[in-house]
Amino acid sequence: MTSAPPRDPAVRPALSVVIPMFDEVENVEPMLARVHQGLADYGGVWELICVDDGSRDGTGARLMQLAATCGSHVRVIRLRRNFGQTAAMQAGFDAARGTVIATLDGDLQNDPADIPRMVDELLARDLDLLQGWRQRRQDDLLLRKVPSRIANALIGRVTGVALHDYGCSLKVYRAEVIREVTLLGEMHRFIPVWVAGVTAPTRIGETPVSHQARRFGASKYGISRTFRVLIDLLSAFFFLRFGSRPGHFFGSIGILFGAVGGAMMAYLLVVKFGLGQNIGQRPLLLVSILLLVASIQFLTTGVLAELLTRTFYASSDLSHHRIRVQTDPAAAGWRTPA
């Protein structure tokens, strides 16, 4: 870890811009130019961290080539293989040195010129996360816009963190807050939800941002993403509500099944010994036994989940991604105000 960036209350806070890229070789050069143009008048020190997520089209090599000509404030991290956007963003967060971190996609659909305004708004509104909102989204209506709107409404309803555009990658974070969140799997779709697990939802806001149609390359998202979003939403709901107490989740189901199964069994005992009727052929007997067995399984699963959770929180931090090569952090610099 390098030394802390210079701080001056008269200028904007030190900013780290993290951009994950996968097979975007045509967008590398214009993306770097757009970032430098958009942050030319930032008024504070900043750095750019480009994460190549195992691209196969030469994106990583092109990033390394252009970074050498841009200056030490441009840093490149190349992952050994395609770990996914979540892992790429986590690698960028781990390497970021700024007190404020901004993220955006590398497909030129987000405008880096929105970042200075978003940093000012984050501080003025005293937020921990400011989410971009693509009000005039330049995407296909049926394949992108409609599924996104349904997903945004569903996520807000289930998690209680109501935002208009969860899918917008243009976000600005306070570094000390986002570093408390460890991104795994495909958690990048629900970053505001995970952030709400470490800070108050009232400290998460949104602001309109510009959006442009993709000019180069192909989109990495399709309609199949909808099914993964539903699965991820279930995981987000579980970890947000029961992440530190999974025994309550499984235990509640176990107690419910046990109570219903016990009531059925008590009724059958009355029928057997009180009324003298045969219960051996009754389906209710099989159902009650299944419920009681399921109850025991859920209760023991809850105990095991509690043990695993405590082991996880007690263990050292582990990263699920592996870096193949990156520019030397010791030689990293800052882009200073003009």
pLDDT for residue 309 is more than 80: no
More confident position, 20 or 311: 20
Is residue 102 within 8 Å of 172, Cβ to Cβ?
yes
DSSP designation for 203: G
Res. 224: pLDDT tops 60: no
Q: How many helices and strands, by DSSP H and E, does the chain display?
A: 10, 8
C-alpha closest to that of 18 among 110, 92, 109: 92
Burial label, 230 (beta-carbon count in 10 A; 0-12, 13-18, 19+)? exposed
Predicted confidence (pLDDT) at residue 274 exceeds the cutoff of 90: no
Residue 230 in contact with residue 186, Cβ under 8 Å?
A: no
pLDDT at 257: 94
Distance CA 337, CA 281 (A): 83
Average pLDDT over the chain, rounded to an integer: 83
Distance, in Å, from the CA atom of 188 to the CA atom of 206, rounded to the nearest integer, reads 16
Give the mean pLDDT of 190-201.
85
Confidence class for position 301, pLDDT limits 50, 70, 90: very high
Average pLDDT over residues 82-91: 90
- Average pLDDT on 76-89 reads 91
Both structure tokens of 304: 């095991």
pLDDT band with cut points at 50, 70 and 90 for residue 75: very high
3-state SS class at 298: helix
pLDDT category of residue 326 using cuts at 50, 70 and 90: confident
Strand order of the β-sheet with 129-134 is: 204-209, 129-134, 171-174, 100-103, 15-21, 46-52, 74-79, 323-326
3-state secondary structure of 31: helix
Percent of the chain past pLDDT 70, that is, above it, reads 82
Taking residue 216's Cβ as centre, other Cβ atoms within 10 Å add up to 13
Main-chain phi, psi angles of 164, to 5 degrees: -80, -25
Query: Averaged over 79-95, what is the pLDDT?
Result: 91
Top-confidence residue, 110 or 148: 110
- Lowest-confidence pick of 8-17, 32-41, 262-271: 8-17
Q: What is the pTM of this model?
A: 0.72
Please tell me the predicted confidence (pLDDT) of residue 3: 46
Least confident of 76-90, 183-197, 308-322: 308-322
Using CA atoms, how far residue 252 sits from 233, 241, 245, 247, in Å, is: 20, 13, 12, 8
Higher pLDDT, 84 or 337: 84
Average pLDDT of 81-86? Answer: 88
pLDDT at res. 248: 85
pLDDT at 1: 42
Count of beta carbons in the 10 Å neighbourhood of residue 257: 20
Tell me the average pLDDT across 213-234.
65
Which ranges constitute the DSSP H helices of 59-113? 59-70, 85-95
